[in-house]
Structure 1
Amino acid sequence: MSGARVLLLGGRLDFVRKAAECGLDVVNVQKPSSFDPALLEHCRQLHVMDYQDVPQITALAEALHRVRPFGRVVTQTEAALVVAGHLTTHLDLPGNSVDVVRTLHDKRSLRRLLNTRGLGEVAFRSGDSRADLLDFVRRHGPAVMKPSMGSGSLGVRKVLSLAEVEDAWRWATELGLTEFMVEELLTGREISVETYSSGGSHTVVGITGKDTGGGVVEVGHVLPARLSAQEARQVTAFVSEVLDAVGLVEGLAHTELILTADGPRVVESHSRIGGDRINELVRLVRGVDMEELALRATSLRDGTLSLPAPEGAAASRFLIAEPGRVVSVDGADEVRALPGVQDVRIKVAPGDVVRPLQWSEDRCGHVVVHAADAATAERLAREAVDVIRVRTVPDDSAVAAPLGHRLTEVDEILDPFEDGSRVSVHS
C-alpha cells in the first residue's frame, strides 16, 4: 500500500492478522465489546474505544496522524464503513471518500442516485406513518419496507397487498421502525456481485446465487450463480455502471441484484466484502482471498487483476431452527465427514435462545461445500444441513426483539452521524 501505516477500524482477528501478514503497520481500533487480547500480536498499536463515536475517533485519528501519518484508513466492518470514509476525507487520504461510502451506506441515497442516472429505476419513498405505507402500496402494489441503513435483512418486511398494510404497520411499530423507506417489490432471481476496484476500474471476482426461501433472510448461496453467458455479461456491465455512478475508486464491493423481467435491479450495495461466507466460496472457486485483495488495494495501480481459472463450485447453507430454548444439537460431526464439506460451524448450544428468523443473526450455523458444479454444490449443502438437528422447546423469551435491542446486542448504531442516534436507537 501507499504508506505502510494503516488505521484499521474494527475487524475480526483473522482480518487483522492478514493485514499484518501483508506487511502493513497496523493501528487497530476495536470497540470494548470486540476486544480480543490475541489482536495485540498483529498490531503496532491497539486502541479500545467506540469508533462510531465520531468526535472521539476523529480526535484520535488526527493526533496519531500528526505523529506518524497514515497511508490509508481500512475496514471491512459494516458499522465502521461510513466512519472510515469520513476519516479518509478528513485526513485527506487516498481511498473512497465519505460521500461515496455514505451513498452506499444510505439505501435512500443510492436509490435516488440510480434513479436519477436511469440505472434500473425503482419506485421508492421515505415514510414515518401508516398513511405513508398505505399510500405507496396503493400506488405501486407489492412493496418492501426497511430501514434506510443496516444489513443482514434487519427490519425488512414484504408487504404483498393493501390487506397486509395493517399487520405490517403493527409489526414496524413493535419493532421500533419509526422511520423507514418503502420501495416496489422486485421479483426474479437474486444474486450478488463481488467486485474488486483499483483506480476506478472494476473487476468482477464472482457472481453468487442466493436463496431466501421466499422470505427476506438469506438461507443459502452458491458460486457461481447459474446464469447464461449473456446474463453474466449484462450483470457485469450493469454493476460496473453502478459503481462508476457511485464513484467507488478502490477496494471491494458487494452489490445485491434481482434479475427482473426488465433487467437487473439493485437491492443494495456495500463498499466491503460480502458476508455469509462468500469470501470462503470465492477462495474455494477462484483461488483468491478477497480480504487480502482489499488490503493490497493500491498495489495494482493500473486497475487490472489476474484471477485463476475457476475450479468447480461452492455453496453455503444456513441452519434454521424452531424458535425456543435449545436443548440439544446433533449431527455436526457426521456432516464434517460428508463428501465435499469444507466447513461446519454451529452458533448455538443447549441453553441458548433461538428467536424467530428476522435477521441473519437469527440463523444457528452454516455448512460450506465444494463440488464439481453449482447444482451439485447446492444439493450437497442442503443435504448436509438437513443432517444437523437443533432441538428446541418453547420459551417465552424466544420472541422477536425491537430493532434498538438487536443493535444494542451487537453494539452498533445505524448512523453515527445522526444527532441523538445513540439515544433514539438504544431506547
Structure 2
Amino acid sequence: MTKRAALVLLEDSPSGASRKFARAAVDLELHPVILFQGSDRVSSMIADGIDAVQADTSHISAVIDACEQLCRSFEIVGVTTPLERLYATAASACLHLGLPGPRPDQIEHCRNKFVQRERLTMAGIATPAYHLVKDAAAARRWASEIGLPVVVKPVIGTSSTGVKLCCQLSEVGSHAELLLTGEPEVPPSPAVLVEEFAKGQQYCVNTIGSEIAGISAEEFGDLPHFALRGFTFPAPLASKDCERLGTAAVASLQALGLGWGPANTEVRITARGPLIIEVNPRISGVPDPEMIRLAHGIDLFTETLKLFLGLQPNLAKRHSRAAAASFLMVEKDGVLRRIHGLQEARAVPGVVEVELTAELGTTLVKHGDFRDVLGLVIAASPSLDQARSALQRALSLIQLSVAAD
C-alpha cells in the first residue's frame, strides 16, 4: 500500500501562517501534520483536517522521534515552520530524514545578529556600524565611539523585542543592563549589540532561493521602539532602486549561505546607500505574504513547498495590483472596554481583511514590539493610492476604547 505524502509543520502555538502552509500543502496533494508543543487552539486545526501530534518542538530529538513515528503511516516529503525560533530545528529534521531543506548551521549562524553582521561585513556588504558588548560600561563606551543616537538590541531575538533607540549614554547603559539581566517576559540576552542608527526608509525584500518575489515598504510606530506598524506592496520605488535593493539582498543571502528556501531581508536606503539591517532565513510574517498574493497573485507558501517536491517555484506576477496594511496596536496601558466599527471597516470597498484578536475586558500593556499587535487591516486595489485610501478609511472607522485598570 502506497503511503500518503505528508508535510510536517512545527509549531508551539498554531498560527495563521501554519494554516496557510497547511492549505498550500493540501493544494499540492500533501497531507499536513502539525507537531505542536501544546495549545488550546489545536482543536480548530484538527477541525480543518490537519493531523496534530504533540511533541516537544523545542528539542530536535523529540521532533525526529515524532517524525520517525509518522514515517510508519506517511511518506514525509518536508518539514518546515513559519517560526524563526523553530526553523533550524525543522532544517535539522530534514537533514536527518534525507529531505531537501536549508542548512541548519547556517540558519543558527544567521539568527545570531552579531555573527550575521560579521559575515556580511567580511563579504563586503554594507551594514550599520556595530559592536558586541557584555556589560553596560562597554555599551556606553562603544555608543560614544559610534555616535549618538544608537540602537541597542539583544544579540538573538525576533520581532523587535528589546530593540530601542537610545539618545543618551546613561540610557544606553541602562537598556543594555536590562537586556543582559532580562525581564519577567523576556529572558536575559547573552550579549548586546550597540549599532549605528541607520536613517532612511526601510524595505523588506522577499525571496525564495535567489529569486525575488517582491519588495514591500515598512513603517514603524513611534521611536524609541521599532514596532512595525504599516506596510505597502509593491514598495513605491524607481526600478533602479528596486534593483539596488534586490542585488543587496541576494548578495547577503549568498554571504550567509542561505541559498535554499524563503527569506526576507530588511534594508534601509540611507545617504550611504542601501544598508542591510537584518536577514531573516524564513518566510515573512504577516502581512507580507498576503499582500504579495493580493497584489501579484504569488502564494509564497505554495511556492516554498514546491521546493520539497523538486519543483521550480514560479514567482512571476499573475496580475498587477497594490496592497496596503496596518496593524491595530496597543496605544496605552489599560483595559479594552469598547470595540466599535469593525463591520463598517469591513464594508469599505477595497478592504479585504479586518481582524481583531483582542477581546473586551483584555488588559493591554504597551511594550513597543510585536506584543502590542491587536489586529490587522489589509486593503487591495488597482493602484497604491486607492489601496492606501481604503486602508485609512477603514482605520478611521475602528475605535478601541481603553480605560485605566
Cross-structure match for 1:349? 359
Counterpart Cα distance in 2 of 1:213 and 1:121: 22
Q: Distance in 2 between matches of 1:166 and 1:112?
A: 23
State the alpha-carbon separation in 2 of the partners of residues 103 and 114 from structure 1.
12
The alpha carbon displacement at 1:254 in A equals 1.3
**CA drift at 1:366:** 1.7
Provide the rounded CA distance (Å) in 2 between the counterparts of 1:57 and 1:323: 39
Name the amino acid aligned to 1:316: A
How much does 1:116 deviate? 0.8
Q: 1:165 aligns with which of 141, 166, 172?
A: 172
Q: Of 286, 292, 306, which residue of structure 1 is paired with 2:316?
A: 306
Question: Distance in 2 between the 1:78 and 1:105 partners?
Answer: 8
Of 318, 331, 335, the match for 2:327: 318
User: Which letter does structure 2 place at the counterpart of 1:182?
Assistant: V
- 8 A contact 1:255–1:270 mirrored in 2: yes
For residues 259 and 48 of structure 2, what CA distance do their matches in structure 1 show? 28
Distance 1:89 1:55, change over 3 A: same
* 1:81 lines up with 2:87 in the alignment: yes
Q: Which range is displaced more, 150-159 or 356-365?
A: 356-365
Is the 8 Å Cα contact of residues 248 and 276 (structure 2) preserved in structure 1? no
Residue 64 (structure 1) shift: 4.5
Which stretch of structure 1 is more off in the superposition, 269-278 or 295-304? 295-304
Question: Could you say what secondary structure the match of 2:156 adopts?
Answer: coil
1:343 & 1:350 partners in 2: Cα distance? Answer: 20
Indicate which of 228, 235, 245 corresponds to 1:235: 245
Match of residue 146 from structure 2: 140
The equivalent residue for 1:203 is: 211
Mapped contact 1:35–1:48 kept (Cα < 8 A): no
Of 132, 136, 146, which aligns to 1:130? 136
Over 3 Å counting, the alpha-carbon distance change for 1:59 and 1:174 in structure 2 is closer
Q: Which amino acid aligns with 2:38?
A: P
Q: Does 1:246 align with 2:252?
A: no
Counterpart secondary structure, 1:58: helix
Q: Secondary structure at the match of 1:71?
A: strand
Which runs of structure 2 are paired with 1:256-405 in the superposition (5 Å)?
256-298=266-308, 301=311, 305-311=315-321, 313-320=322-329, 321-395=331-405
Matched position secondary structure for 2:276: strand
Letter in structure 2 aligned against 1:241: A
Moved more, 270-279 or 252-261: 270-279
Q: Report the residue type matching 2:375 in the other structure.
A: G
In 2, Cα distance between equivalents of 1:169 and 1:105: 19
- RMSD of equivalent CA atoms: 2.5
Structure 1 residues 97 and 130: alpha-carbon distance in aligned structure 2, compared to 1, 3 A threshold: same
Higher alpha-carbon deviation: 172-181 or 152-161: 172-181
Deviations 1:280-331 (A, max 9, x none): 11111001211111122255656664332422x1100122332211111111
Q: CA deviation at 1:114?
A: 0.3
Preserved CA contact (<8 Å) 1:328 1:349: no
| Distance in structure 1 (CA, Å) of the matches to 2:351 and 2:308 | 35
In structure 2, the residue matched to 1:151 is 158
User: Structure 1 CA distance, aligned partners of 2:40 and 2:124?
Assistant: 41
Between 1:88-97 and 1:253-262, the stretch displaced more is 88-97
CA contact (8 A) 1:17 1:42 kept: no
Q: Match of 2:99, as an amino acid?
A: L
Aligned residue for 2:307, secondary structure, equals coil
Cα distance between partner residues in 1 of 2:132 and 2:340: 45
8 Å CA contact 2:298, 2:316 repeated in 1: no
Residue pair 2:355, 2:377 contacting (<8 A) in 1 also: yes
Select between 112-121 and 123-132 the one with higher mean Cα deviation.
Answer: 123-132
Contact 1:9 1:84 in 2 (8 A): yes
Amino acid at match of 1:315: A
Partner secondary structure for residue 228 of structure 2: coil
Q: How much identity, in percent, do the aligned residues show?
A: 26
Shift of 1:52: 0.6
- C-alpha distance in 2 between matches for 1:304 and 1:16: 19
Q: Aligned partner of 1:382: which letter? A: Q
Tell me by how many angstroms 1:39 deviates: 3.1
Question: How far apart are 1:108 and its partner, in Å?
Answer: 1.9
- Structure 2 distance, partners of 1:336, 1:6, is 34
Contact 1:222 1:315 in 2 (8 A): yes
Which residue of the other structure, out of 191, 196, 199, is the alignment partner of 1:187?
199
Distance change in 2, residues 1:41/1:339 (3 Å) = closer
- Give the TM-score normalised by structure 2: 0.87
Q: Which runs of 5+ in 2 are unaligned?
A: none
Map 1:28-67 → 2, pairs under 5 A: 28-33=34-39, 36-40=42-46, 45-62=51-68, 64-65=70-71
Within a 5 Å distance, the mapping from 1:89-128 to structure 2 comes to: 89-128=95-134
Of residues 29-38 and 150-159 in structure 1, the stretch that sits farther from structure 2 once superposed is 29-38
Give the direction of change, closer, same or farther, for the CA distance of 1:25–1:370 in structure 2 (3 Å limit): closer
1:8 aligns with 2:17: no
CA distance in 1, matches of 2:376, 2:281: 24
4+ residue stretches of structure 1 with deviation over 4 A?
41-45, 62-69, 298-304
Cα offset for 1:45? Answer: 5.0
Shift of residue 138, structure 1, vs aligned partner = 1.0
CA distance in 2, matches of 1:280, 1:102: 27
Give the whole-Å Cα distance in 2 for the aligned partners of 1:362 and 1:39: 25
What number of residue pairs does the alignment pair up? 388
| TM-superposed deviation, 1:223 | 0.3
Q: Tell me the distance in 2 between the aligned counterparts of 1:61 and 1:310.
A: 41
Letter in 2 for 1:319: L
TM-score normalised by length of structure 1: 0.83
